[in-house]
Amino acid sequence: MNTASLNSAAAIDDRAWLKILSGYRQPHRGRSAFELAITVIPLVVLWALSYAAVHYGFWWGLLLTIPAAGFLLRLFMIQHDCGHGAFFAHRHADDWTGRVLGVLTLTPYDYWRRAHATHHASAGNLDERGVGDITTLTVAEYRAMSRWGRLQYRLYRNPIVMFGIGPAWLFVFKHRLPFGMMQSGAQPWISTMATNLGIIVLVTGLIWLTGLGTFLLVHMPIVVLASTAGVWLFYVQHQFEDTHWSQPPEWQFQQAALHGSSHYDLPRMLQWLSGNIGIHHVHHLSSRIPYYRLPEVLTDYPELQGIGRITIMESFRCVKLVLWDEQGQRLVSFREARALA
């Protein structure tokens, strides 16, 4: 972390940032429509080229599924902005754009939006864990578990499960039912079932046009790669060495947003494909800022650049951080937890 940036940012009260950042919340609707177009059109073109390559026996064409996955990820980030009312800043335009995109991203929009709102309202709050975030236990909670419970948590936190099996399970299967909101009224059910119906219609049409085998060869890698990248981004944005967790009354929204979310400093192309979501501390401070305006904030307020900053190489070390040490106020590995004992 850049100490100079941290000290400079600390000179501004955490609550004052909300007022400062409010000036960036207004989207440019023409720019939003353009961002949507330059994401959807390349995705469709890359998908069609991948299909054509496979159809005519040019198997190297499957490499095109890699950039296609990047554009699908970017489409999810647009849906994410719609969920915050930040993309068009028009309720119906954002909602219906998000619902349509949910068919492509395999994410029921209204159901996901509610869960994600809970995540934003409680991120970093030790008393409000479990909805819309990565399950994280404290060292004490882990020690108090049975051997079977510890094994389950270790499996859940295993990188193969977290970034291999987990993303496919989440987007392909878990999102087909409103888990966690089964008794929360009709809206989560309507959202998931309507999205499922849209997916069935789209997939049936594509299979009819391309054939089942070709569809699976082209589409499944795109979905798996995009979902894995999405889960990875979400993970490192909160599971990093300098993250912040606390309990009420110490927990404060502004502090948790600014210091509990990372600034994942990605190369420019990856930052563009991920919709600038790596500037996550600013996003959590003011979720109504359109993703394409987040870099403006860092340009105008460079003191925010060093807060929670992690690079790609540093992010790989985040995988081992699995338990919250309440005494040391930091995330630790299983090995470190044993040493603490």
Q: How many CB atoms lie within 10 A of CB 157?
A: 21
Residue-averaged pLDDT of the chain? 92
Strands 263-264 and 330-332: unpaired
| Cα(341)–Cα(336) distance, integer angstroms | 9
Number of other residues whose CB lies within 10 A of the CB of residue 195: 24
In terms of Cβ atoms closer than 10 Å to its own Cβ (0-12, 13-18, 19+), residue 282 is: buried
pLDDT tens profile 227-276? 999 999 999 999 998 899 998 888 988 889 989 999 999 999 999 999 99
228 in any annotated domain: yes
Q: Is 328 within 8 Å of 138 (Cβ atoms)?
A: no
Residue 182 inside a domain? The answer is yes
Residue 335 lies in a domain: no
Range of the domain at 182: 26-138+158-291+308-321
Q: Give me the torsion for CA of 133, 135, 136, 140, rounded to 10°.
A: 140
Identify whether 317 is part of a domain: yes
User: Are 226 and 294 contacting, i.e. CB atoms less than 8 angstroms apart?
Assistant: no
Within a domain: residue 80?
A: yes
Tell me the residue type at 295.
Answer: P
* Total-model pTM: 0.93
Q: In this predicted structure, what is the pLDDT of residue 235?
A: 96
Q: How many domains does the chain have?
A: 1
Q: What angle do CA 130, 134, 140 make, to 5 degrees?
A: 70
Q: Write out pLDDT tens, residues 52-103.
A: 999 888 888 899 999 999 999 999 999 999 999 999 999 999 999 999 999 9
SS3 of 294, please?
helix
Domain for residue 153, yes or no? Answer: no
The reply to whether 15 falls in a domain is no
Question: Does 328 map to a domain?
Answer: no
